Amino acid sequence: MATTPQQLNASTESLPLQDRVAIVTGSSRGIGRQLALHLSSLGAKLVINYSSSNSSPADSLAADINAGSLPPRAIVVRADISDQAQVQSLFDSAERAFDSPVHILVNTAGVLDSTYPSVANTTIESFDHVFAVNAREYWYYWASLQKRGGGGRIILFSSSQVAALRPGFAAYTAAKAAVEAMTKILAKELKGTGITANCVAPGPIATELFFGGRTEEQVKKIIDESPLGRLGETKDVAPLVGFLASDAGEWVNGQIIRINGGYV
């Protein structure tokens, strides 16, 4: 039976994030890519952010989201989120493209030192770079999210390493611990705005970032330590973020949610 225009309209209107503008940083690959696809499936308009010189993965993702959609529902914006001016440009680009304030910010951009140095062997350069990308975000831009269509949502990403406290991750874990602390404070400082701030802290997820610098033996050891006997996948994380971004997630605020299959 053919779908009627009325059924199509009803289906569109029922999407929980219909026409809300979402920025997903670091969304050209890994967890961020899956989150962008999932939020799009829930009706959101996407700003796909990347920082490298290679735009191909981000462009490909936007093409997938925009296939058969006029006007486009995804744009690509290059920006280094550790740079204040580029963060401002990211928000400005989103508002110009969609003629709307940003409703949802998901920050998945992150780096770690894939040599996994001890505290004593962590260089100043490595420490500063890890903190610049993972922790030195520009909170007052995020706090500018306006309550619209159910309220603003800030969803930051930490790591279950903050609970595991494993050697070789000192700078990375310290940066993510800072994100967790600031998330709780930010949620309180946003009182009265209708904006929520939460932090998602995945365990080992099968991404390029996870596999970097690890041997097959090390990967197998991590799998063996998981109660579910596998690495997490990006699709394991996406539904949680979709929930937090929706009206249904409004009462979850100022929380750190560890999603790791029982690894920690």
Catalytic residues: 172
Q: Are 173 and 165 in contact (CB under 8 A)?
A: yes
Distance CA 176, CA 228 (A): 25
Distance CA 67, CA 119 (A): 47
- C-alpha distance from residue 210 to each of 24, 60, 206, 244, 256 (Å): 19, 22, 6, 24, 21
3-state DSSP percent of the chain in helix, strand and coil, to 5: 45, 15, 40
Distance CA 166, CA 26 (A): 25
Strands (DSSP E) found in the chain: 21-25, 45-50, 74-78, 104-107, 153-157, 196-202, 256-259
- Residue 17's nearest CA partner among 103, 92, 144, 96 is 103
Angle at 50 between CA 157 and CA 214, to 5 degrees: 60
Distance of alpha carbon 79 from the chain centroid: 15
Where do runs of H (alpha helix) occur along 28-113?
30-41, 56-66, 84-98
